[in-house]
Amino acid sequence: ISKGKRAAPPKAEKLVDHHLDVAMKAVAKFSGHPLILVGKSMGS
């Protein structure tokens, strides 16, 4: 657990761009394999 100050998460657009970049790199590295995404709801 981080002991740093709490802060708001990055804006959705920044998160989407980051996750898309990671997914595209995985697809390039493991071509021919399916890309499976999972997630966890943090509630609202």
Determine contact, residues 23/35, Cβ cutoff 8 Å. yes
Q: Could you tell me the pTM of the whole model?
A: 0.62
H helix runs in 1-44, sequence order: 12-29
For the chain, the straight-line distance linking the first and the last C-alpha, in angstroms and rounded, comes to 21
**9 Cβ contact partners less than 8 Å away, ≥ 6 residues apart:** 15
Rounded distance, CA 17 to CA 23, Å?
A: 10
**42 Cβ contact partners less than 8 Å away, ≥ 6 residues apart:** none
- Each of the 44 residues of the chain gets a pLDDT tens digit; together they read 667 888 887 888 888 999 999 999 999 999 999 999 898 887 76
pLDDT at 35: 94
